[in-house]
Amino acid sequence: MTKFLAKIVAWITDGYPEGVPGPDRVPLLALLKRRLTDDEVKAVARELMNRGEFDNADIGVLITQITDDLPSVDDVERVRSRLAAKGWPLDGPRDPEENA
Instruction: List pLDDT tens digits, range 48-66.
Output: 999 888 888 999 999 999 8
pTM of the full structure: 0.59
Architecture of the domain whose range is 38-88: Orthogonal Bundle (1.10)
Q: Is the pLDDT of residue 21 over 90?
A: no
φ, ψ for residue 68, nearest 5 deg: 55, 30
Quick check: 71 and 78 in contact, CB under 8 A?
Answer: no
The residue ranges of every structural domain in the chain are 1-32, 38-88
Q: What percentage of residues in the chain have a pLDDT greater than 90?
A: 33
Give the integer Cα–Cα distance in Å for 11 and 20: 12
